[in-house]
Structure 1
């Protein structure tokens, strides 16, 4: 527990400094926010190199969007309150899920440890692949939140209702998938086994599906507020590509190495969308 407490204290200080840098740069409009987001990421990167643990960046995925959304809040109408509440619910749940699994500064995500010792210097892999790319993807996904939080000319409409259903459903889906996974892994008899119960019976990565749904819901809020911002659909598309071509293949390769029968499991259970929605 002392190692965990020390690790969380260090992370808290790092993120306080990163937040101060971001706030100094400002959040007045998206371009300035982009600079602030990059500046905060650089702070986290430097700190991760000092402490020798790239997992210091992991909570940034869920912490930064909530901070940016609150900074963008203008007049608090129904749409703005809905976006803020759903964003905070998503951020708190995802950050808490990271905190439950992180064991301190001596614990680095297995994906990062695999990247050490490659031909490319790890500092470059850490800066670009582990930190800057996710920051850019999440910032792109956040762009529709700007009109949702600042444009007040269009009243609450049916598209907002759809956005609430999709986004709230995504948070519930992620929370349920994580709870089922934690319950499964706590049982000693399941060590080395493949989870095939609950949501995991119908999708190999229901938590990733929920994450993708969340950002599509945020795009719907932006579309409801300002249809001219439809082009921000590039954000949720980038999230889909990140999970589909990076996160899911890495997780599947690891499971193939560690769990007998996972190849058959992959043939039976689709990666994201449950049958009959998955091709």
Structure 2
């Protein structure tokens, strides 16, 4: 079996062009119809397309290629279908309220999605490419089932389980009103982590990368191919950076705190304790890594702020942020 050579031997340009076409098609539909229902679905499904395309045209069906591609596709189907289902039920995505009607701002989001999908897909794309899998250059994959492969599968399975279960738990609690309005979601995995889906997603891509880099140990593989495999570590690193410092925690922590602060300082006195309850939740619940509250709560603040990554940038200041929030609320009235 000989891989198809298309544009370059790493499939970088081909997959980039496919991603651009896929995302811009989604943008055209979303902007023209002013709908949010396909935005996240277009992102998630793009991962499926790149994994399947690179596997098929790579035409090298080693066990490792099949497993890595299948894991990416399973993850993509789950995330795309869940996000599509959720936005259909809710009707809109509040993230786009201020940019949905501004073509260049809205396009900026889709360009970011292009770079995200393409970069995070690199491990499996490079693994399936002729640069790694072509036997004529020594691309025989090492025997599948090494310690690294097993560790990668376990890490992926753990991450996938955490992400899927946490998403379902939060949707269930919100849709069934299992959590009173004045209390944070503190059931199931959400009692151990404030953002378990983000933690799960990070694990998934570290697991995929670990599976994909095993051919780099093959002595007959060209140095450039080995470097590309190791360099695809940008995939889990970018996932970590985006979720920790981009569209993940920064867009969730302060807005959530603001909601409880305003609820507590609003006219409805039944929610007067909302801010107090939320502060207790912050004190006892890890921001990312799931940790039992009985263990996390007593930990020194310095440990939480450094090793456990609950950085000061995520904190809502009652004096600074609270004053601004109250002022904005008064203006809206």
Question: Normalised by the size of structure 2, how large is the TM-score?
Answer: 0.68
Following superposition, the deviation at residue 56 of structure 1 comes to 2.5
Cα deviations across residues 30-64 of structure 1 (Å, max 9, x unaligned)? 21211221122112112211001244321122101
> Pick from 87, 91, 114: which aligns with 1:107?
91
Partner residue, 2:114? 135
How many residue pairs align between the two structures?
249
Which residue number corresponds to residue 213 of structure 1? 203
Q: Distance in 1 between matches of 2:159 and 2:93?
A: 24
Structure 2, unmatched stretches of 5+, are 1-5, 134-138, 218-225, 261-273, 297-306, 310-333
User: What's the CA shift string for 1:150-178, capped at 9, x where partnerless?
Assistant: 42523212211111111122111111112
RMSD: 2.5
Partners of 1:189 and 1:159 in 2: CA distance: 41
The whole-number CA distance in structure 1 between the counterparts of 2:23 and 2:172 is: 33
Counterparts of 1:136 and 1:203 in 2: how far apart (Å)? 28
C-alpha contact (below 8 Å) 1:147/1:225 kept by paired residues: no
Correspondence 1:120-131 to 2 at 5 A: 122-128=102-108, 130-131=109-110
Partner residue in 2 for 1:252:
253
Determine which structure has more spread, i.e. the larger CA radius of gyration: 2
Matches within 5 A, 1:1-279: 29-73=11-55, 74-103=59-88, 107-115=91-99, 122-128=102-108, 130-150=109-129, 151=133, 152-155=139-142, 156=144, 157-192=146-181, 193-226=183-216, 228=226, 229-246=229-246, 247-259=248-260, 260-261=274-275, 262-275=278-291, 278-279=308-309
Q: How far, CA to CA, are the matches of 2:62 and 2:105 in structure 1? A: 42
The answer (yes or no) to whether the contact 1:62–1:91 under 8 Å persists in 2 is yes
- Ranked by relative contact order (alpha carbons within 8 Å, sequence separation 6 or more), the top structure is 1
Q: In 2, are the aligned partners of 1:82 and 1:164 still within 8 Å (CA)?
A: no
Task: Name the structure with the higher helix share.
Answer: 1
Q: Give unmatched runs, 5+ long, in structure 1.
A: 1-24
Query: CA–CA distance in 1 between the matches of 2:177 and 2:161?
Result: 27
Q: 1:79 to 1:258 in 2, by over 3 A?
A: same
Cα distance in 1, alignment partners of residues 27 and 126 from structure 2: 30
Taking structure 1 as the reference length, what is the TM-score of the superposition? 0.80
